[in-house]
């Protein structure tokens, strides 16, 4: 399997080269040259497969022998070592709970797969890597956990000061070791800009082996397609033919992974791209104009992205066509006030507790299904405890920390940092 750049100005590369490079030299994003359609036998037997077994059947098509099957199976078993249950909220309304991993967020899946894939290849190549990652919240904690103490890999996390939750900040700034957190005086978009410029800087490319752990890295994207298959497999059989997925969206890697699953043969009827007031993509879906803008801080902070990187992948899936995209994807955008009211309403009506991101996705799903008989699945991307103050402000109960998570009051070890690229470049070279 080869991976091409969405800009098409460089030669396709192997899976290994794609995940090491992170970004192609032409500043596009890597995409698989071929998207295999899984055989009917896979879907006929899916009820008998575990989550790791589904992951193996999906991902081995893209790894294409670069990691031997035995090693790949072990790697995927380590990645998907926690459950991803589908929980019924009410009739034909489901939540896919992606928060049962070590950092209580969906990004655990992609970060763990990327960390283990890079570790496998670095052992083979005897090289040292520096991983750069920009985060609006959950990516940083997932990457920090997934890469902590991985040999020969240093991780530098950039996050916007004052714009992540305390819980998220604790998860990404207290580990130390090979994890360095830079607290940037700016927005997520500033953090993402610094990372992208670093990959394109000739001096840095000569001095360091850089790669990315953001969803711009194709090894973050690919494993996220797995839980769409797993969600479908957990549905009652009589509800599998008419399924829509509602995706709380920031950088749009999760939605891109769903589009990948659909093209592999998963019978998904429609996608909902649900955002907060950072509504660049929903507005494109509404009127055909893509106008990036500075991100705005919200209570669903992991979605505070004004110029989402993975939008180019979405365009690639649909041959750059607005009409083709809108036939498969509908956009919604909601304010913080609407998000808060949804948390309260869903709890009062069903007893289910949504986090702010899931609430955005649920409201879009409820709106879309108000005049349809389809089955809806909202991706609940983070545990409500990560946004404890916000959630408890809307419901009359305490949100408890899951039993497999230990609260930490370890010392914060972040480095205050400017948003100037010259400063970041010098930091990397020193």
The ranges of the chain with pLDDT < 50 are: none
Residue 409 is predicted with a pLDDT of 58
Q: Which one from 2, 7, 21, 107 is the annotated catalytic residue?
A: 107
The H or E element containing residue 246 is strand 243-248
The answer to whether 119 and 71 are in contact (CB under 8 A) is no
Residue 286 is predicted with a pLDDT of 98
Q: Own/partner pairs for 21-27, CB < 8 Å, 24+ apart?
A: 21/199, 21/211, 22/132, 22/199, 22/210, 22/211, 22/212, 22/214, 22/216, 22/217, 23/196, 23/199, 23/200, 23/212, 23/216, 25/200, 27/196, 27/199, 27/200
How far apart are the C-alpha atoms of 415 and 182, rounded to whole Å? Answer: 5
Query: Do the domain assignments include residue 193?
Result: no
Q: Which of 388, 327, 344, 320 is nearest to 168 (CA)?
A: 388
Q: Which of 372, 368, 363, 245 is nearest to 300 (CA)?
A: 363
pTM of the model as a whole = 0.89
Residue 407 is predicted with a pLDDT of 57
Judged by DSSP in three states, 404 sits in coil
Q: Which of 175, 141, 180, 173 is nearest to 412 (CA)?
A: 173
**What is the strand order of the sheet 329-333 is part of?**
86-90, 93-97, 375-380, 243-248, 268-275, 329-333
CATH label of the domain that carries residue 378: 3.40.50.1100
Question: Residues in the chain, how many?
Answer: 430
Residue 406 is predicted with a pLDDT of 61
How far apart are the C-alpha atoms of 99 and 80, rounded to whole Å? Answer: 12
Residue 56 is predicted with a pLDDT of 98
> Beta strand 30-32 with 3-5: parallel, antiparallel or unpaired?
antiparallel
For the chain, how many structural domains are there in total? 1
The H or E element containing residue 192 is helix 188-200
DSSP-assigned beta bridge partners for residue 329: 271
Residue 125 is predicted with a pLDDT of 74
Query: Do the domain assignments include residue 58?
Result: no
Query: Do the domain assignments include residue 127?
Result: no
DSSP letters along 338-385, please? HHHHHHHHHHHHH-PPPPHHHHHHHHHHHHHGGG---EEEEEE-B-GG
Query: Do the domain assignments include residue 89?
Result: yes
**What is the strand order of the sheet 129-134 is part of?**
210-212, 129-134, 153-160, 179-184, 415-417
Query: Do the domain assignments include residue 418?
Result: no
Domain that includes residue 240, residue range: 83-105+220-392
Would you call 2 a catalytic residue per the annotation? no
Q: Which of 412, 418, 344, 426 is nearest to 168 (CA)?
A: 412
C-alpha dist (Å) from residue 55 to 123, 124, 231: 23, 23, 12
DSSP letters along 290-355, please? ---------SSGGG--SS-TTHHHHHHHTTT-HHHHHHHEEEEE--HHHHHHHHHHHHHHH-PPPP
Query: Do the domain assignments include residue 327?
Result: yes
Query: Do the domain assignments include residue 140?
Result: no
Q: Which of 144, 160, 377 is nearest to 248 (CA)?
A: 377
Residue 152 is predicted with a pLDDT of 85
Round the CA-based radius of gyration of the chain to a whole number and report it: 20
Residue 194 is predicted with a pLDDT of 95
């Amino acid at each position: 399997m080869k991976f091409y750049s969405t800009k098409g100005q460089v030669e396709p590369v192997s899976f290994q080269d794609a995940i090491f490079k992170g970004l192609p030299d032409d500043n596009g994003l890597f995409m698989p040259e071929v998207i295999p359609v899984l055989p009917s036998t896979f879907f006929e037997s899916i009820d008998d497969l575990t989550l790791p077994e589904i992951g193996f059947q999906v991902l081995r098509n893209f790894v294409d022998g670069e990691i031997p099957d035995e090693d790949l199976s072990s790697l995927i078993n380590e990645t998907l070592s926690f459950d991803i249950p589908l929980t019924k909220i009410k009739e034909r309304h489901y939540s896919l709970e992606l928060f049962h991993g070590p950092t209580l967020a969906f990004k655990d899946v992609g970060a763990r797969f990327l960390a283990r894939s890079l570790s496998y290849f670095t052992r083979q190549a005897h090289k040292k890597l520096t991983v750069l990652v920009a985060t609006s919240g959950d990516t940083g904690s997932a990457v920090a956990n997934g890469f902590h103490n991985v040999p020969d890999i240093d991780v530098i996390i950039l996050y916007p000061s004052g714009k992540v939750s305390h819980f998220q900040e604790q998860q990404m700034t207290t580990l130390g070791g090979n994890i360095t957190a830079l607290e940037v005086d700016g927005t997520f978009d500033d953090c993402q800009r610094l990372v992208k410029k670093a990959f394109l800087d000739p001096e840095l490319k000569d001095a360091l082996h850089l790669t990315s752990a953001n969803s711009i890295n194709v090894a973050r994207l690919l494993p996220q397609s797995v839980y769409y298959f797993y969600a479908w497999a957990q549905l009652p059989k009589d509800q599998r033919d008419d399924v829509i997925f509602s995706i709380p969206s920031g950088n749009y890697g999760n939605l891109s992974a769903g589009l990948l699953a659909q093209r592999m043969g998963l019978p998904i009827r429609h996608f909902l791209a649900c955002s907060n007031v950072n509504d660049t993509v929903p507005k494109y879906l509404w009127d055909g104009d893509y106008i990036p803008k500075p991100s705005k801080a919200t209570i669903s902070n992991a979605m505070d992205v004004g110029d989402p990187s993975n939008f180019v992948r979405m365009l690639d899936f649909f041959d750059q066509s607005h009409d083709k995209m809108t036939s498969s994807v509908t956009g919604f955008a909601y304010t913080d006030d609407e998000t808060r009211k949804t948390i309260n309403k869903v709890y009062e009506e069903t007893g289910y507790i949504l986090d702010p991101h899931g609430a955005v996705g649920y409201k879009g799903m409820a709106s879309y299904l108000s005049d349809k008989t389809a089955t809806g699945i909202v991706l609940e991307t983070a545990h409500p405890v990560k946004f404890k103050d916000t959630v408890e402000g809307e419901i009359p109960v305490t949100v408890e920390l899951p039993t497999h998570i230990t609260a930490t009051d370890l010392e914060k070890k972040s480095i205050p940092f400017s948003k100037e690229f010259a400063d970041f470049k010098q930091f990397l070279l020193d």
